[in-house]
Amino acid sequence: MAFTIDLTGQNAIVTGSTRGIGRAIAQALVTAGAKVAVCGREQAKAAAVAAELGGTTMGVALDVGDSASIEAAVDAVTKAWGGVDILVNNAGITKDNLLLRLDDEQWDTVIDANLKGAYRTVKACLKGMMKKRRGRIINITSVVGLMGNKGQSNYAASKAGLLGFTKSVAKEYASRGITANCVAPGYIETDMTAALPEEARAALFQHIPLERLGRPEDIAGAVLYLSSDLASYVTGQVLVVDGGLVM
């Protein structure tokens, strides 16, 4: 085995990849030689980001809350490139509130997008992967799914649910050459964390042994590894990328 990551000939779908972590993941896959479908709710935005990334890319409208939208996206990739080899479930939302103030809509919307959305996309891609007898499924969960967080019971439940879902998929389809793993980001540099006051950022660093926030590229590197042949014997695992926060 060559200890390099070359994804030439592999076709990837990355949900929620028009910005932030998803975009960094898409860029990493493109750089490694994969063909990448950049996915977002807005076709125009997805197409614009795909053009910016270079390589062999396409912009695809994909709403993880809509099975028909997902099926159409998978069909488009299959017709253009011959199937999906790598699926990265990155799309997710938050609707934070303390439990006693959390309403059914806030609970249901987050569970539907973050957990049921992954169920929908994995199910849409599985038949094609089974025919190829190869597939890489990477679900982006969160350290919040491992440790909980005040005001995020819905988000934590959705991300913890992804862990059990992923392990079940890994067991069901290992015999078909399909692996399923999770990446659990910690606190990552985003527009939201950049807006935090300095004292709030300093408080975060007290809990992170590496004393910095993660970068989107840190998550992209983990996904790149799990997408590659270097991880061909890794399945049903959770790769935590958090600077040591929850070790």
Q: Which residues contact 37 (CB under 8 A, 6 or more apart)?
A: 11, 12, 13, 14, 50, 57, 58, 59, 60, 73, 76, 77
Contacts of 91 (CB under 8 A, 6+ apart): 15, 16, 22, 39, 62, 64, 113, 117
Give, in order, the Cα–Cα distances in Å from 50 to each of 18, 56, 126, 134, 154.
Answer: 8, 9, 24, 25, 32
Rounded Cα–Cα distance for residues 247 and 240 (Å): 9
Beta bridge partners of residue 86, listed in sequence order: 12, 136
The single residue of 155, 173, 187, 233 carrying the catalytic annotation is: 155
Question: Would you give the distance in Å from CA 241 to the centre of its chain?
Answer: 13
* Category of 84 on φ-ψ map: left (φ > 0), alpha (ψ -120 to 50) or beta: beta
- CB of 17 closer than 8 Å to CB of 87: no
Question: Is-catalytic flag, 155?
Answer: yes
User: For strand 11-14 and strand 35-40, is the pairing parallel, antiparallel, or unpaired?
Assistant: parallel
* Separation CA 196–CA 226 (nearest Å): 32
| Active site (catalytic) residues | 155
